[in-house]
Amino acid sequence: MYKSVETILVDIPTIRPHKLSVTTMQTQTLVLVKVTTENGVVGWGEATTIGGLNYGEESPESVKANIETYFAPLLLSIKQPLNFAQTFKLLRKSINGNRFAKCAIQTALLDIQAKLLNLPLSEVLGGRLRNRLPVLWTLASGDTDKDIAEAKKMIELKRHNIFKLKIGSNPLQHDVDHVIAIKKALGADISIRVDVNRAWSELECIRGIQQLQDGGIDLIEQPCAIEQTEILTRLTQRFDVAIMADEALTGPDSAYRLAHQHAADVFAVKVEQSGGLIEACEVAKIAKLAGIDLYGGTMLEGPIGTIASAHAFSTFESLAFGTELFGPLLLTEEILKTPLQYENFELAVPQAAGLGIEIDEDKIEQLRRKA
């Protein structure tokens, strides 16, 4: 039984502007959810988005309003004992859509369940297959020289040796030349990928991807609009470079449709876009059955959403293209008592019960949005 459900908005500046085709971020708003049981067990979840409504259908403000108006009253109204599966079935039946909000609530409830069982969250999701996850870094300043310097620094620090570039906001040839210049500067041993953030038409995709493939780029992420899955299919069949579906993936149903259409070589699995950790694991199962490779994506969550994702991704049988769980490193403030462990190009998945992290609630209180 649940005693309280609290939703907190926390605004944290980024270490530098983060430029995407849809927006340029200089502050990230974390949407944190704290669920407390009548026995005093606390679970945490996160429903962070990228750039508010610039990116998707949910914003920090809408997530907070909907959790407080619909999710919290429903959870607090439960009087008879329900297990996790029964509770979440009730939430799915009673509330449509709201994948990000559902993910936050589900994460908090799974955190509680794992703590009650005294197990890491990964074990509740089926059992981890790895204790560490490779993590790439996104170069998104938009300045070629700055991006090259930033990448070389990351390699020297042994923090990241795989890089993704956000493109699509500039003319196509400008972006392609920018990417290939960085690839040449970093050398053949460094993997470079691009995220077009659904900015190109089919003709632009053909022109751009051919040049990027010839330039040694390893992966092209969501080059066309979300609904243009037929174009994704044609691009996947046309090019040797891996084509990855990202925003087109909104959970198991869409994963099945994309797999059936052979519309991608790689799935970018994001727990929030999937609607929850369990749904993200279902997306991974569909990909495995269809022979599609996996990549652990991010919504640039803070440490709570990032480590929840890490627990889920640690259970995937294969992660051929690694993960993008660098969100906390983009933030100027820390909200954990002990920061997440990034070293030797990897992120460690905690061994303690639940999410395995300790929240600094005093710091959250300092940073929370007051109005």
What is the C-alpha separation between 60 and 189, in angstroms, rounded? 39
Q: In what order do the strands lie in the sheet with 219-221?
A: 137-139, 162-166, 191-195, 219-221, 242-245, 266-269, 293-296
Q: Annotated catalytic residue: which of 19, 34, 102, 166?
A: 166
Residues 191 and 162: beta-carbon distance below 8 Å: yes
What is the C-alpha separation between 163 and 145, in angstroms, rounded? 15
CA-based nearest residue to 168, from 145, 200, 146: 200
DSSP result, 237-262: HH-SSEEEESTT--SHHHHHHHHHTT
Q: Other C-beta atoms within 10 Å of 37: how many?
A: 16
Q: Are strands 242-245 and 2-19 parallel, antiparallel or unpaired?
A: unpaired
What is the C-alpha separation between 343 and 247, in angstroms, rounded? 29
Strand, coil or helix: 63: helix
Tokens of 118: 């005294």
Q: In what order do the strands lie in the sheet with 42-46?
A: 2-19, 24-37, 42-46
Check if 166 is active-site: yes
Please list the active-site residues: 166
